[in-house]
Amino acid sequence: MSISEEKRYPRTGDRQTVYLNAVITNPNIKVGDYTMYNDFVNNPIDFEKNNVLYHYPINEDQLIIGKFCSIACGAKFIFTSANHTLKSLSTYPFPLFWETYGLAQKDVTAAWDKKGNIVIENDVWIGYEAVIMSGVHIGNGAIIGTRAVVTKDVAPYTIVGGVPAKPIKKRFDDETIKKLQLLCWWDWDKEQLREKMDDIMSGNIERL
């Protein structure tokens, strides 16, 4: 079940933090339960307008975000229409101005190179003013550093940073990552999570 409108603000007295799936209206943006966004500059309810950019229906591309993700203030998701095609001899987006040049209106998407969906899996932390580019897939448990620009896929439980973002280190050893991927704790119900919360927060993988 998705979180109800009444649970838009998960913290008493805090109007800077929202559960995203309680404020999203665009059918091409899909967000899992408990994923939260904090914004101390703008109204977090305006996430679609301020943070999901160049996301035009004509492309039919999607922003897909899993459960229990943490998205910091100013993080941006930039879609295909921000690109100018590299297949042409010119980077100028002539098809956008089809009326001026007598082009077919249906060919407007030839102005850019289609990159595809942005997919963020579960338990991902996206840092302050990080930028995620179209076509990127970020795995479970990854961390995106402050103001990183992510142009390539990020493996599960990997910390990346920089411009363009590059791997810094893995959060855990390969065996622990494998166990976490199999556990999928983000799919547990609230009672299971309450029971195992201390072990999750203390990093006790063996007790999970």
- The residues annotated as belonging to the active site are 84
Q: Quick count: other Cβ atoms within 10 Å of Cβ 131?
A: 21
Q: What is the rounded CA–CA span in Å between residue 138 and residue 150?
A: 9
Q: What is the rounded CA–CA span in Å between residue 73 and residue 21?
A: 17
Residue 35 sits at the vertex; the CA angle it makes with 13 and 133, to the nearest 5 degrees, is 120
* Residue tagged 């799936």 (tokens): 21
DSSP 14-80: --SEEEGGGT---TTEEE-TT-EEE-SSS-GGGHHHHHEES--GGG---EEE-SS-EE-TT-EEE-G
